[in-house]
Each structure stands twice: as C-alpha cells, then as structure tokens.
Amino acid sequence: MTEVSVAKESVAATDDLVVLKDVNKHFGALHVLQDIDLTIARGEVVVVIGPSGSGKSTLCRTINRLETIDSGSITIDGKPLPAEGKGLARLRADVGMVFQSFNLFAHKTVLENVVLGQVKVRKADKAKAEEKARALLDRVGVGTQADKYPAQLSGGQQQRVAIARALAMDPKVMLFDEPTSALDPEMINEVLEVMQQLARDGMTMIVVTHEMGFARSAANRVVFMADGRIVEEATPDQFFSNPRSDRAKDFLSKILHH
Ligand SMILES: Nc1ncnc2c1ncn2[C@@H]1O[C@H](COP(=O)(O)OP(=O)(O)O)[C@@H](O)[C@H]1O
Ligand SMILES: [Mg+2]
C-alpha cells in the first residue's frame, strides 16, 4: 500500500503543470487571494466553484498574468510566469483563456479570429494557420461560419469560436471563467459538450462554472473557494455528496435547490 502511494506521488510530482504556492493578492484593503496553494497536474480537469466575489476570476487572471500577485509564486511547466515582452505573449498563448463575454475581435471574421494569434505570436505560416483554423472550427461545430463576423453568430457559436481561437495556440492549459454564464439556456449544452470533448481528449483545464452537471461528469477535482481562500478540495463525488465545510454546504444548498 505504501509503495503504491509513493509511486503515485512521484508521478504527480513530475507531472505538475500549474503550481500556485502561497499566493496572496490584495485590491487595496481587500485581501482577494489568501494563501492559495493549488497544483494542477497535466491532463487534470479542475472545476472551481464558490460564491460571487470569492476570487475565482482573480485566481484565473493571475495564472495568465492579467493580474499580478503580491506574494507567493506561480509556475507553469516548472517555469515562473514571465513579467513582460515576448515571454508574456507566449505565456498568454500557452494558457488559453475563455471568458464569460466572448471577447472576439468584432471587425475580423471568425476565420481571422482563429488565424491571428497563430501568425502573430506563434509565427505560423498564413496558409498553415488557416488550415488549422478551419479544422478547429469544424471540431467545435462552426466550420460553416468561418467567413462571417462574430455579431452574425449566436452566443453559443461565438463562445465555441473563442474556444477554437484559444486551441489554435496549442495551449498547455485552458482556463474557462464562467464560459456559459452569458448564454441563453438552449446554447449552454453546445458549449459544455465541446468542453467535455476537450476534457476527454486530455486537455488540462481549470473551469470556473456553476454548471454542476459538468463538474460531476468532467472534473477530476472540485475546488471550493470562499472569501479569497480555498476552503475545500475533493473529487466531485465526495464534494457533492459529502461537503465538509459549512460554507460549502450552504453554497450547495443554494445552488442545487434552485
Ligand atoms: N480590478 C479590481 N479592483 C478592485 N477590486 C476588484 C477587482 N477585481 C475584482 N475585485 C474584487 O475582488 C473580489 C473578487 O472578485 P472576483 O475574483 O471577480 O470574484 P468571483 O469571480 O469569485 O466572483 C470581489 O470583491 C471584487 O469586487
Ligand atoms: Mg468571476
């Protein structure tokens, strides 16, 4: 038994992709991230849940350095986050991010949205980048929309384009910050299905979501945050059937009974 657990730990240690150690951040007097320790293994899918204002978005934003931290460390694939310049642009490509608002370039076509970063940041050849963009758009089910502008697409389609755009950079990890919260209900599943497939394909994912069905079926681990702290971490089964903290019990009773 001991031998097995030692072996597991040593595998995990070499396979850590995103590591946050003792991360702290303030917004003025607000201590928005408090002593955050979080390690995400390659291929792992972690769902982050918690009440509004608990620091989930800020946590995501620190991982691709849209926000700086006050203390502690964040490494990706063993390397600290670069502070600026080309290193930072590459980091942003390595850490794909999908937001609640789709953030596509409005004046570019769907295809151009997925081509742009490949050419600018990854220095890909234009024709190759287009080929890859079309394949990715097909993969997320919007291949026929390639020549339209974002505003001509539904919210669910736009969000899938945003996912394709992030994937085009060959990210090491994908961050999703409430990717379905701005969608009409009938479009939520088409986005969740793309995310499910991505998880099955082995992508490392950090997903902030209130979609508990997704958490149950796709997550390896649920991280529950409240007031800037990680209060609880567990497998989805453990977390949903037997939350340990009062904060988590209270939160679950609110979201599951609505
Ligand atoms: N740029 C900012 N300046 C000041 N306060 C902020 C900023 N961004 C977020 N906050 C505050 O930090 C807290 C955590 O926000 P956020 O990370 O967005 O939480 P969540 O995503 O869990 O709802 C909230 O109280 C929010 O008002
Ligand atoms: Mg948020």
Q: pTM surpassing 0.95?
A: no
Tell me the CB-side half-sphere exposure of residue 43, using CA atoms within 13 A. 7
pLDDT digits (tens, 9 = 90+) for 145-177: 999 999 999 999 999 999 999 999 999 999 999
pLDDT value, residue 258: 58
Extract the tokens encoding 236.
């989805």
Q: Which of 25, 30, 251, 255 for a ligand 1 pocket mutation test, highest count of atoms within 8 Å of Cβ?
A: 30
- Name every protein residue with a CB atom under 6 angstroms from any ligand 1 atom: 27, 30, 32, 50, 52-58
pLDDT value, residue 240: 95
pLDDT value, residue 86: 85
Does position 11 have pLDDT exceeding 80, yes or no? no
Q: Which atom of ligand 1 is nearest to the CA of 51?
A: 22
Q: By C-alpha distance, which of 231, 180, 247 is closest to 210?
A: 180
Does position 2 have pLDDT exceeding 60, yes or no? no
Q: Which atom of ligand 1 is nearest to the CA of 177?
A: 21
pLDDT band of residue 14 (cuts 50, 70, 90) is: low
Beta-carbon neighbours within 5 Å of ion ligand 2:
56-57
Mean local confidence (pLDDT), 45-74? 96
The four Cα atoms 69, 75, 80, 81 give a dihedral, to 10 degrees, of -60
